[in-house]
């Protein structure tokens, strides 16, 4: 027997999957364009707006489902989390856009060493994929792996900032632009981590304490 509420929950689920796909694409494209010196601001801005739009639709539907069906237990946890997860996904889009604006602020950065950025971006992309996979498969164990990765990203960011403070990065333009990008990546990792926390909450009801 399909419950009326199930139709709404399935719709929410599909919107989350749409956002997951688009937000992953936004981050990947923004990073790629950055390292290649390509301007993709317009495209990413549109995607980011679209993500925000779907996020608003998710909130609307979630509130409607609560009003209509008074969901409880795992239904309620899913609906609450759908709002939080889509917030995270729309932030992926927003930070992807922020990454694209760095190029226009700083101009040509092709002489800069992008190795730290590429290393961190690879890790962050893995985190995005894992958070989404954990959601799709409702995989608590996978979701739990995100916390350590988030710590690693935080440390990479802190180490890079330390190097700048200690004047180990000589080129100011390169180091300031890289710091911004790393900061955006670090924020994305944070949101991927909290998506993982929501997956854990949906399944177990356990709220993971914030860091």
Partner 1 sequence: MDKIEAKDLNAWYDGNHVVKNVSLRIKSNQITAVIGPSGCGKSTLIRCFNRMHELIPGAKVSGKVLLDGEDIYDDSVDPVDIRRKIGMVFQKPNPFPTMSIFDNVAIGLKLNGVKDKKKIREMVERSLKMVALWDQVKDRLNDSGASLSGGQQQRLCIARALAVEPEVLLLDEPCSALDPNATSKIEELIVKLKENYTIVIVTHNMQQAARISDFTAFMYLGELIEYGETSRIFKQPEKELTEKYITGRFG
Q: Quick check: 79 and 71 in contact, CB under 8 A?
A: yes
| Choice from 48, 75, 130, 178 touching partner 1 (CB under 8 A) | 75
Alpha carbon separation from 168 to 5, 19, 40, 59, 172 (Å, rounded) = 58, 40, 31, 46, 11
Q: Give the C-alpha separation, 42 to 205, whole Å.
A: 40
| Residue choice 26, 52, 65, 71 for contact with partner 1 (CB under 8 A) | 71
**Residues whose CB is less than 8 angstroms from the CB of residue 1 and which lie 6 or more positions away in sequence, other chains included:** none
By CB neighbour count within 10 A (0-12 exposed, 13-18 middle, 19+ buried), where does 122 fall?
exposed
**Is the Cβ of residue 72 or residue 165 nearer to partner 1 in the bound state?**
72
Instruction: Please identify, using beta-carbon distances, which residue of 9 and 30 lies nearer to partner 1.
Output: 9
Sole window of 68-76, 95-103, 110-118, 180-188 interacting with partner 1 (rule: CB under 8 A): 68-76
Q: Total residues contacting partner 1 (rule CB under 8 A)?
A: 11
Applying the rule CB under 8 A, the residues between 192 and 211 that interact with partner 1 are 205
Q: Is 191 in the site for partner 1 (CB under 8 A)?
A: no
- When the beta carbons of 2 and 172 are compared against partner 1, the nearer one is 2
Question: What is the DSSP secondary-structure string of 147-183?
Answer: HHHHHHHHHHHHHHHHHHHTT----HHHHHHHHHHHH
DSSP reduced 3-state for 205: coil
d(CA 97, CA 76) in angstroms, rounded, equals: 32
User: Is 93 an interacting residue with respect to partner 1 (CB under 8 A)?
Assistant: no
Binding mask 103-142 for partner 1 (x = CB under 8 A): ----------------------------------------
Piece of the chain touching partner 1 by CB under 8 A; list 58-66, 69-77, 120-128, 132-140: 69-77
Site of interaction with partner 1 (CB under 8 A): 3, 5, 70-77, 205
């Amino acid at each position: 027997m399909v419950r009326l509420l199930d139709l709404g929950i399935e719709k929410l689920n599909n919107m989350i999957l749409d956002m997951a796909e688009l937000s992953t694409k936004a981050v990947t494209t923004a990073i790629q364009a950055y390292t290649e010196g390509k301007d993709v601001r317009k495209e990413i801005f549109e995607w980011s707006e679209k993500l925000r739009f779907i996020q608003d639709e998710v909130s609307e539907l979630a509130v409607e489902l609560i009003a209509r069906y008074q969901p409880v237990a795992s239904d309620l946890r899913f609906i609450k989390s759908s709002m939080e997860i889509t917030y995270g996904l729309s932030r992926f889009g927003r930070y992807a856009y922020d990454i694209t604006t760095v190029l226009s602020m700083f101009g040509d950065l092709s002489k800069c060493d992008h190795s730290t950025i590429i290393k961190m971006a690879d890790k962050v992309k893995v985190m995005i994929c894992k958070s989404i996979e954990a959601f799709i498969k409702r995989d608590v164990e996978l979701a739990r792996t995100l916390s350590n990765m988030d710590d690693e990203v935080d440390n990479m960011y802190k180490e890079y900032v330390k190097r700048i403070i200690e004047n180990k990065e000589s080129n100011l333009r390169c180091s300031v632009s890289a710091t911004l990008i790393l900061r955006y990546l670090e924020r994305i990792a944070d949101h991927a981590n909290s998506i993982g926390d929501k997956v854990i909450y949906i399944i177990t009801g356990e709220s993971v304490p914030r860091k």
